[in-house]
């Protein structure tokens, strides 16, 4: 099991035929959950690499290490772990449903099928100790479901955390192009 650390930050990139959706993710050992206190960006598909990279960096910058509940009796959590009730399962579901509804209105989609039909998804992790950003492409399994499919770790894109925004944006496009 991965040690709990403050040195990791997370985000998620989604891209369909019209838009990029870049969102902060937060969690305890991984960025498992959309963060209601995080940053979200909806950018048109014609957006340049530098603006994409800047939006991803912004979303990563506010990622948090959080737990939905205090530690069980007899255990302690590191001081930097924030207790965040908004990460309980019912709150996460409501947040996701709200995000879908708002995104559909913002983008002018009349149905989830139109929004999600060609949706690609990548998970992003910034490791500040290694000064590296890893972008993991996913397989679109169902309308609102993704998995690793036949993708392997070799399909992941790694780039220096010190890369320019344009280089980071180009790395995002490369990883999104590997989604299946």
Per-residue pLDDT of the chain (180 residues; tens, 9 = 90+): 444 556 889 999 999 999 999 999 987 765 577 888 899 999 999 999 999 999 999 999 999 877 655 555 555 555 555 556 666 666 778 888 999 999 999 999 999 999 999 999 999 999 999 999 999 999 999 999 999 999 999 999 999 999 999 999 999 999 999 999
Token pair for residue 122? 């990548």
Let me know if residue 69 belongs to a domain: yes
| Number of domains, the chain | 1
Non-local CB neighbours of 142 within 8 Å, separated by 6+ positions: none
Please report, in angstroms and rounded to a whole number, the separation of the first and last CA atoms in the chain.
28
Whether residue 3 is contained in a domain is answered as no
The enclosing domain of 24 has a CATH number of 3.40.1590.10
C-alpha to C-alpha distance for 83 and 62, rounded to whole angstroms: 16
Rounded to two decimals, the pTM is 0.86
Phi first, then psi: give them for residue 53, nearest 5 degrees. Answer: -60, -40
Residue 118's domain comprises 8-177
Q: Is residue 2 part of a domain?
A: no
Q: What is the pLDDT of residue 143?
A: 95
Both tokens assigned to 42 = 């909806």
What's the Rg (C-alpha) of the chain? 16
Encoding tokens for residue 160? 């220096």
């Amino acid at each position: 099991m991965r040690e709990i650390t403050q040195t990791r930050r997370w985000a998620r990139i989604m891209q369909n035929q019209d838009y990029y959706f870049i969102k902060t993710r937060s969690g305890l050992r991984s960025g498992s959950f959309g963060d209601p206190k995080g940053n979200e960006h909806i950018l048109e598909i014609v957006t340049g690499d530098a603006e994409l990279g800047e939006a991803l960096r912004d979303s990563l910058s506010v990622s948090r290490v959080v737990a939905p509940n205090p530690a069980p009796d007899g255990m302690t959590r590191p001081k930097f772990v924030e207790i965040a009730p908004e990460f309980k399962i019912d709150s996460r579901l409501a947040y996701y449903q709200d995000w879908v509804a708002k995104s559909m209105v913002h983008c002018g989609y009349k149905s989830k099928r139109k929004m999600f039909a060609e949706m690609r998804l990548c998970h992003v992790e910034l490791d500040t100790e290694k000064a590296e950003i890893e972008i993991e492409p996913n397989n679109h399994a169902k309308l609102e479901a993704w998995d690793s499919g036949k993708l392997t770790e070799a399909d992941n894109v790694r780039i220096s955390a010190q890369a320019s925004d344009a280089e980071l944006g180009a790395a995002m496009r490369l990883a999104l192009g590997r989604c299946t």
